[in-house]
């Protein structure tokens, strides 16, 4: 099954996608992680992408779309995939439909996550990620802290706060961009009849892993 994760930053897309990936074996394909890897290695793609990401702006399609297409052609994505962070605009959604059509495939499920704005900002400010590129485990100092402060439970590597999570103004800018350019995708996929909207909020005790468990159960029931 080919799945897309939608939702503003901090709603838990990565958590949900990661759990589904573990249970199904379908790869979690995160454009954000690919960009960060290139930025850390100072590749040409990373240098160009960082010009936009560091300001909380979207990376242009001429950089993003070919990268995604290349990734979807890899062997591990042939039985299914979970896209996390792409598409983010209607233009990217149309480009994705076109590239998948060329492969004889289509998007079968779009999971749209919603979280109150104040929770999103707090989550992003308290998010920590593993510095080991082969691990990439994500923690939250309030909701999901590591057993030892600053150390990854899985591999023992140091944790860090992403640069784009440190500045509240940059976070606000990212949320504004999402509302402007990405939220129209909700209607786009609703019209296709493949949209599933879930609320993720500590206020109702319904978090990412709860949503992921429900989705996997529904997939297995089919």
Instruction: Give the residue numbers annotated as catalytic, written as ranges.
Output: 13, 88, 127, 162, 174
**Both tokens assigned to 17:** 């996608």
Secondary structure element (H or E) that encloses residue 4, with its range: strand 2-6
Residue 80 to residue 78: CA distance in whole angstroms:
6
Residue 104 to residue 141: CA distance in whole angstroms:
43
Preceding amide of 87 cis, omega within 30:
yes
Residue 162, number of CB atoms within 10 A of its CB: 14
Task: Output phi, psi for 5, to 5 deg.
Answer: -100, 125
Cα–chain center distance at 186? 15
């Amino acid at each position: 099954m080919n799945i897309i994760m939608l939702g503003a930053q901090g709603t838990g897309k990565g958590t949900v996608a990661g759990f589904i990936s573990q249970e199904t074996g379908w790869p979690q394909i995160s454009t954000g992680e690919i960009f960060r890897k290139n930025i850390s290695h100072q590749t040409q793609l990373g240098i160009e992408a960082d010009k936009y990401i560091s300001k909380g702006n979207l990376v242009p399609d001429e950089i993003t779309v070919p990268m995604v297409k290349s990734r979807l052609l890899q062997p591990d994505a042939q039985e299914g995939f979970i896209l996390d962070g792409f598409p983010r605009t209607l233009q990217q959604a149309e480009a994705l439909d076109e590239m998948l059509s060329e492969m004889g495939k289509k998007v079968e499920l779009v999971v749209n996550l919603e979280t109150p704005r104040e929770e999103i900002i707090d989550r992003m400010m308290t998010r920590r990620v593993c510095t080991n590129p082969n691990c990439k485990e994500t923690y939250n100092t309030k909701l999901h802290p590591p057993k030892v402060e600053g150390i990854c439970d899985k591999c023992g590597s140091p944790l860090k706060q992403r640069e784009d999570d440190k500045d509240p103004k940059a976070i606000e800018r990212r949320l504004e961009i999402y509302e402007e350019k990405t939220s129209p995708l909700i209607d786009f996929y609703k019209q296709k009849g493949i949209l599933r909207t879930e609320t993720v909020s500590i206020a109702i005790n319904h978090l990412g892993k709860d949503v992921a468990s429900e989705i996997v159960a529904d997939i297995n029931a089919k």
